[in-house]
Amino acid sequence: MKEHSLKICITNTLTLLVMVSLICCTNVAVSTSNNNLNPVILIPGNGGNQLEAKLTTKYKPSTLICDPWYPPFKKKNGWFRLWFDSSVLLAPFTKCFASRMTLYYDQDLDDYFNVPGVETRVPSFGSTSSLLYLNPRLKLVTGYMAPLVESLEQLGYIDGQNLFGAPYDFRYGLAAPSHPSQVGSKFLNDLKNLIEKASNSNGGKPVILVSHSLGGLFVLELLNRNPSSWRKKFIKHFIALSAPWGGTVDEMFTFASGNTLGVPLVNPLIVRNEQRTSESNLWLLPNPKMFDIDKSLVTTPYRNYSAHDMIDFLKDIGFPEGVYPYETRILPLIAKIDAPAVAMTCIIGKGVKTPEELFYRNGDFDEPPEFSYGDGDGTVNMVSLLALESLWKDEKNQYLKVIKIGGVTHTSILKDKVALDEIIGEISRINSHAQLGLSNISLATFDEK
C-alpha cells in the first residue's frame, strides 16, 4: 500500500504511541526506531491475492458467452482481473470464470498447467498491494490483509522498504522433490530471492515471515529445502496464521460437492470441476498421518471414508484423474513434515464450529451433505492446526510457540482486533529480541487466549 503523505508525516508519532501501548500490555521493551525493525514478508493463503489472465488464440470458449471479447474492459495488452471479479456472481459468467481458472495435469510431463489459451500472472510481487483487497473496487467485501498491513504500518513498517508481499498463483501447489512443479517451485525461488533482497536492503537483518493458511505450507517447504546456513542468515522468525498443517475435512466437501466459499448466488456444481483440478486443493486434503484411521470423515449409505481412504474417495466422487497425482506427488510430499530449526509461532483460532464429518444420506455427492462439527477455526480442524506440536514434540532444536484465540475464524484472524494485537505484539517481541534462542530448547510452552 502506498502511504498518504499525512501518514508519512506522523509515522514516528504513531509508532511511539503503539510501542508504549505494547510495552504496557506485554512488559516487552520495544524499540521505536524503524532502523531496529526486522523486515517482514507477508505470504497469503489460498485465494488471498489478486490474479490476472490473458486469452490467446488457442483459447476455446466453453460457451458462446465466454468468447474472448469477455470481459469487455481489459488493459491495453489484453490482461484482465481473473480473481476476484464480481462477474463470477452471475451464473453465465461463473462458467467462464471456472473454465479459465481450471488446471490440467499432464501425466507425461508430470506437472500441472493452465488450460490452452489462458495465460495467468500474479501482479505486484514484492509489494503488499495485491494482498490488501482481492478487488480494489470492492474494498468492503473483498478486504483481506489490509487491516494487518495497516497495523504493521503503525509500527513503522513501510511497503517496499521493510514490508513486502509474496503473492502467488494459489491454484498451483508443490510436489515431492522428485517430481516437477514448475509454477510452485518458481514461487519458492522468487520468495527466496525476495527474502535475501529484503534482508540485504535492511542492513543484513534477518526476515520475519508471516503467512496465512496455505502460505504456511509453502514457507515450511521453502525452509526445509534450503540449508541451515541460509536459514540462520536470512530468517529471524516464522509466524504462521491459521496454517492447515494436516489439511482439512472441509477440503473433502470441496472435492465432493463444490464449495462457494460463502460467495452468494454461485452454484457449487459449476465451480466443482475447477476446484478439483487445483493442485493446491489436492495438497490440502486431510493428511492420513494426522487424522485417525478409524475416524470417518465422509459417510454414505455404501461406505465410510477416513483420511486413509482418499484414493477410493477420489474415485467414488467421480474424480479418478486425481488419483495418480495424489498417489505419486502429494502422498510423498506430506509423508514427513520436518522441523526447520527456525523459531516459529503459530497463531490460531479455536472454539469455532468446524466441519468434522460429512453425511451424504442418499450417497449423492451432487447434493449438499449434512455436517457434524468439532473444534477448529471454522475451516481447519484443531488436529491440523496443532499438528506440529505432536509431530515435533521430540525435536531438540525447534522453538515452537502456539497462541490460541477463542472465537476467531480462519479469515477473521487477519482483521479481528484481539488477533491483530497478538500478531503485532509477537512481531514487536521478536524485534525487541525478547525471545528465547534455539540452542538448548525444544518445544516452548504455548500461550492460550
CATH number for 128: 3.40.50.1820
Identify the weakest region by mean pLDDT among 16-20, 262-266, 321-325, 425-429.
Answer: 16-20
Q: What angle do CA 417, 423, 427 make, to 5 degrees?
A: 140
Q: Which residue has the higher pLDDT, 130 or 1?
A: 130
pLDDT band for position 82 (50/70/90)? Answer: very high
CA R_g for the chain? 22
Instruction: Please give the Cα distance from 142 to 319 (Å, whole number).
Output: 31
Exposure letters 117-147 (e unless 16+ CB within 10 A, then b): ebebebeebbbbbbbbbbeeeeeeebbbbbb
Identify the weakest region by mean pLDDT among 3-7, 129-133, 162-166, 286-290.
Answer: 3-7
Which of 202, 53, 58 lies closest to 121, judged by CA?
53
Q: What is the pLDDT of residues 284-335, one digit of tens each?
A: 999 999 999 999 999 999 999 999 999 999 999 999 999 999 999 999 999 9
Q: What is 21-53 written as a DSSP string?
A: HHHHHH-------GGGPPPEEEE--TT-S-EEE
Instruction: Please give the Cα distance from 76 to 420 (Å, whole number).
Output: 39
Instruction: Please give the Cα distance from 380 to 355 (Å, whole number).
Output: 8
Which of 238, 240, 265, 262 lies closest to 250, judged by CA?
262
pLDDT at 26: 41
pLDDT at 162: 98
**Catalytic machinery residues:** 213, 377, 410
Q: What is the pLDDT of residues 374-414, one digit of tens each?
A: 999 999 999 999 999 999 999 999 999 999 999 999 999 99
pLDDT at 9 over 80: no
Identify the weakest region by mean pLDDT among 96-110, 226-240, 259-273.
Answer: 259-273
Q: If you average pLDDT over every residue of the chain, what do you get?
A: 89
pTM comes to 0.90
Exposure letters 217-246 (e unless 16+ CB within 10 A, then b): bbbbbbbbbbeeeebeebbbbbbbbbbbbb
pLDDT band for position 18 (50/70/90)? Answer: very low
* In 288-371, alpha helices (H): 310-316, 323-325, 331-334
**What is the domain range of residue 305?**
5-448
pLDDT at 433 over 80: no
| Number of domains composing the chain | 1
Instruction: Please give the Cα distance from 284 to 326 (Å, whole number).
Output: 11
| Beta strand 447-448 pairing with 111-114 | unpaired
Which of 362, 363, 399, 357 lies closest to 381, judged by CA?
357
pLDDT at 13 over 90: no
pLDDT at 186: 98
Within 319-427, strands assigned E span 344-350, 354-359, 370-374, 400-406
pLDDT at 63: 82
H-helix or E-strand spanning residue 444: none
pLDDT at 448: 52
pLDDT at 266: 84
